A and B are shown apart, each in its own frame.
Chain A
Amino acid sequence: MTDWLSPQEWQAVALSLRVSFWATLVALPFGILTAYALARWRFPGRQLLNGLVHLPLILPPVVTGYLLLLGFGTQGPIGGFLENFGIVFAFRWSGAALAAGVMGFPLMTRAIRISIEAVDQKLEEAAGTLGASRPMVFLTVTLPLILPGVLAGAVLCFAKAMGEFGATITFVSNIPGQTQTLPSAIYAFLQVPGGESSAIRLVIVSIIVAMGALIVSEWLAHKAAKRVGGS
C-alpha cells in the first residue's frame, strides 16, 4: 500500500485518519451529554443550545473556520489562554481535529439524540425502583439501549471529519505533513499540473474509507440491535 501511494499522499491519508479518529473520540462524550440534555432536560436556553449545536451545519464552512481562527488562534481569547498550558491549535494537526470535530458534532448529536428519545423511560423508572441511582441508570440501561445510535453518530462524525475541507483549510491552512488532510491534498494536487493521478488515487482511498466505515457501522448497529432484542 505504501509504495502504491507516494509519501506525500500517504501522509495525507494517515493524517486524515488520525484527525478524524481524535475528532470523533473527543467529541463523543460531549455529543452524548449534549444529546441527553437536549432530549431530556427542560432548561432555559435549550433552544439556543440546539441552535448553537446545529450552527456548523448551516454556516458556510469557511465562516466556521474563520470563527475558529478568531477564537482558537494564538491571538484569540481561547487559543491564547490554552497556549499557557501548551495546547496549540493554530496550524497544527490538533487544529484540524478541532475543526473536524466541530463540523461533525451536529450530525453526531442528532443521531444520538434521536436514539435517546426512542428509549422507553419506563425502563429507566423501573431501574430506579430497583435501587439504581440516576448515573447508574444511565450507564446500565440508557447507554446500552442507545448504543446503535451512538455508533451511528460516531460513524457520521468520523465520515464528516474525513471529508471536512472548508473549515480546516481556513483555520489551519494546508501544510503537507502538518495540516494537509485528504481533501486538502486532493485540492492541492488538482492545483498543480500532472497532479491528477495522485488526486485520483486519493479519491479512491476516500471512497474505500467511507464505504468501510459505513459497513462497519451497519454491522455494529445490527449486532447491537440484536442484543437489545426486538422489544
Chain B
Amino acid sequence: MTLSVHLTHRRDDFSLDVSFEAPPGVTVLFGQSGSGKTTVINAVAGLLRPDNGRISVGDWLLCDTSQGMCLPPHKRRLGYVFQEARLFPHMTVQQNLRYGQRFAPRNARPEDEARVTEMLGIGHLLSRRPSDLSGGEKQRVAIGRALLASPKMILADEPLASLDADRKEDILPYFERLRDETDIPILYVSHSAAEVARLATTVVALHEGRVTRIGSAAEVLSSPDHLPGGVRAAGAVLDATVRQHHDDGLTELNAGGEPLFLPRIPQPVGQNVRVRIAAHEVLLSRGRPEGISALNILEGEITALHSGGGPGMMVTLSTPAGLVPARITKRSAQAMGLNVGDRCTAVIKTVAIAPIDIGT
C-alpha cells in the first residue's frame, strides 16, 4: 500500500507545496522545525484541511479538494502517535489500548492484543493509570493504542522528541520491530539524522515547505546538499552483519567484507544491522595509517568533493562498505591535494559510534 500525497497550503507567510509517494516500510519526513513536516502529517491525518491537495492510501482516497471531499480524522483509520503520548488520563492502560477497537470496522483484521503488548513490553502496565507511567512507557502505550485501532497506516510526529536520550534508545527498537514485524506502512516525522538512519526505508527531505530530496537513508544522508540540519546531519549509513562478539567488549561487524569494530551491541551473530557514522567523526589519510589507535580503516575512492561557505568541506568516499562522507577542513583537503578519483583512507574511532547510531 502506497501513500500518495500532493498538497499545497498557505498560512500567513508560510507556503507548503509538496508531492511524494511513500512506499511500504518507514517513510521519514525529514526536516528542521518550520519546514512544514507537521503540517504534512496533520493533513494526512485529517487534522488540517489543505488549501489544495489529493491524499490517498493505495486506492483509498482520503482527501481530494478538487472534488471537495476530505474525510474527517475518525473515518481515515490512520493510527497517530503524537509527540506527547496523549493518553486518556481517566482510563487505565488497557482501556487506552482498547479505545480504538470499538470504532474499527468489523471486517478489519484486528491486531492481536497479546502480541502487541508483548512486542511493546507493556504487559505489566495494563492496570496502571497514565499518570503512573514514565515518559517512555507512555509513548509505548501510545504506539500500542494506535496499532490496536487496526489502522491502514501509522503516523508518528516526532514521537521521541519529548524523551531524553536514554529513553529514545529504548523506544527506537519498537519502531524497528513495527517496521519489520508488521506490514503496516509508517509515516514518521523527524529532525534527527540518527532516527532517519535507523528507521527510514525512504526519506523525504523537506525544507521551507518544499521537498528537496527523496531517496534511501544512505543516499540522502551521505550528501550534504539540501540536507535538513546541515552538515552535522551528514553521515554514512552502512548495512552490515554481526560477525563476532569479542571478549574485550567489542563487536565486530562485516560491512561489505570490511571489518568494523564497535562497542558491544546486543544483536546476535549473523543479524543484519544498520550503522550510522557521522561525517564529522571520520578522519581521512593518504595511504594506510600505521600506529594509530582507531580500529576502523576503510579504503576507497573519492567520488565527490563539496565546499560550503565555511571553513569545512565534505569528501565522499566510495568504500567496499558503502559511501562514507567525511567532513574535514578545506585547509586539510588542500594540503593533502585531494581530487575526485584519488584513493584515500577513512579512519573511524570505535567509540565514535554510539548505540543510537546502530539499528536493525
Residues of chain A whose beta carbon lies under 8 Å from any beta carbon of chain B: 120, 122-123, 125-134, 136, 140-141, 144-145, 227-231
Q: Could you say which residues of chain A place their CB within 8 Å of the CB of B79?
A: 129-130
Chain A residues within an 8 Å CB radius of B76: 129
Among B45, B72, B80, B103, the one with the most A-chain Cβ atoms within 10 Å of its Cβ is B103
Check if B89 sits within 8 Å of A231, measured CB to CB.
yes
Interface members, chain B 74-128 (any A CB < 8 Å)? 74, 76-80, 82, 84, 86, 88-90, 99-100, 103-104
Residue of A nearest to B131 (CB): A229
How close is A119's CB to chain B, nearest CB, in angstroms? 10
Q: Which of A129, A136, A141, A227 contacts B45 (CB 8 A)?
A: A129
CB within 8 Å for A133 and B74 given contacts A122-B84, A125-B47: yes
Asked if residues A129 and B47 are in contact (CB atoms below 8 Å), the reply is: yes
Contact, CB under 8 Å: B90 / A227: yes
Nearest Cβ in chain A — how far from B97, in angstroms?
10
**Binary A-proximity of B130-143 (CB < 8 A = 1, otherwise 0):** 11100000000000
Interchain CB contact (< 8 A) of A132 among B46, B74, B80, B86 = B74
Best-buried of A132, A229, A230 by chain B (most CB within 10 Å):
A229
Q: Is the CB of A129 within 8 A of B130?
A: no
Interface of B toward A, CB cutoff 8 Å: 45-47, 72-74, 76-80, 82, 84, 86, 88-90, 99-100, 103-104, 129-132, 145-146, 149, 155
Q: Are A229 and B99 in contact (CB under 8 A)?
A: no
Least CB distance from B351 to A in Å reads: 39
Q: Shortest beta-carbon distance, B187 to chain A, in Å?
A: 13
Are A126 and B80 within 8 A (Cβ)? yes
Knowing A125-B47, A229-B130, A231-B131, the reply to whether A130 touches B90 (Cβ < 8 A) is no
Q: Which B residues are CB-close (under 8 A) to A133?
A: 72, 74, 103
Asked whether, in the complex, the Cβ of A141 is within 8 Å of the Cβ of B100, the reply is no
- Give the secondary structure class of A's interface: helix
Is the Cβ of A129 less than 8 Å from the Cβ of B73?
yes
Do residues A122 and B103 form an inter-chain contact, with CB atoms below 8 A? Answer: no
Who on chain A is nearest to B150 by CB? A131
Bound CA span A136–B100, Å: 11
Assembly CA distance A144 to B99 (angstroms): 14
- The answer to whether A229 and B129 have CB atoms under 8 Å apart is yes
- In the complex the two chains form, is B80's CB within 8 Å of A129's CB? yes
A-B pairs with lowest CB-CB distance, top 3? A131-B103, A229-B131, A130-B100
Expressed in whole angstroms, the minimum distance between the Cβ of A126 and any Cβ of chain B is 4
Docked-complex contact A125 and B73, CB < 8 angstroms: yes
**A127 proximity list for chain B (CB < 8 A):** 88, 99
Which B residue's beta carbon lies closest to that of A130? B100
Bound together, the chains give a CA A229 to CA B100 distance in angstroms of 21
With contact pairs A130-B146, A132-B103 given, residues A228 and B86 touching in the complex (Cβ less than 8 Å): no
Residue of A nearest to B128 (CB): A229
A227 CB contacts on chain B under 8 angstroms: 90
Chain A residue at smallest Cβ distance from B149: A130
A231 touches B130 (CB 8 A): yes
Q: List 30 interface pairs A-B (beta carbons < 8 Å), by A numbering.
A: A122-B86, A123-B89, A126-B86, A126-B88, A127-B88, A128-B47, A128-B74, A129-B45, A129-B46, A129-B47, A129-B76, A129-B146, A129-B155, A130-B99, A130-B103, A130-B146, A131-B77, A132-B74, A132-B103, A133-B72, A133-B74, A133-B103, A145-B89, A228-B89, A228-B90, A229-B89, A229-B90, A229-B130, A229-B132, A231-B130
Shortest beta-carbon distance from B297 to chain A in Å: 49
A229 and B82 CA atoms in complex are apart in Å by 20
Residue in A122, A131, A134, A231 whose beta carbon sits within 8 Å of that of B82 in the complex: A122
CB distance B130 to A131 under 8 Å? no
User: Is the pair B73, A128 in contact by a Cβ cutoff of 8 Å?
Assistant: yes
Find chain A residues with CB under 8 A from B100 CB. 130-131
Q: How many whole Å from A147's CB to the nearest CB in chain B?
A: 8
Residues of B within 8 A of A140 (CB): 99
**Which residues of A sit under 8 angstroms from B89, Cβ to Cβ?**
123, 145, 228-229, 231
* Residues of B close to A136: CB separation below 8 A: 74, 103
Contact assessment for A144 and B90 in the assembled complex, using a CB-CB cutoff below 8 Å = yes
What are the residues of chain B within 8 A of A144 when measuring CB–CB? 90
Q: How far is the CB of A170 from chain B (nearest CB, A)?
A: 43
Closest residue on chain A to residue B47 by CB atoms? A125
B103 neighbours in A (Cβ, 8 Å) = 130-133, 136
Question: How long is the Cα–Cα vector from A133 to B129 in the complex, in angstroms?
Answer: 24
Residue from the list A123, A229, A230 in contact with B86, Cβ < 8 A: A123
Q: Which residues of B contact A128 (CB under 8 A)?
A: 46-47, 72-74
Specify the chain A residue showing the minimal Cβ separation from B142: A126
The smallest C-beta distance from B76 to any residue of chain A, in angstroms, reads: 8
Question: Which residues of the other chain, A, contact B47 by a CB distance below 8 angstroms?
Answer: 125, 128-129
| B74 and A123 within 8 A (CB) | no
Q: Which chain A residues lie closer than 8 Å to B73 at the CB level?
A: 125, 128-129
Task: A128-B73, A131-B103 are known; give 9 further A-B pairs, CB within 8 A.
Answer: A122-B86, A126-B80, A128-B47, A129-B76, A129-B80, A130-B149, A132-B103, A228-B89, A230-B131
Q: Which residues of B sit under 8 angstroms from A134, Cβ to Cβ?
A: 74
Residues of B within 8 A of A125 (CB): 47, 73, 86
Q: How far is the CA of A136 from the CA of B84 in the complex (A)?
A: 22
Report the separation of the CA atoms of residues A129 and B131 in the bound assembly, to the nearest whole angstrom.
22
The answer, among A129, A131, A141, for a CB contact under 8 Å with B88, is: A141
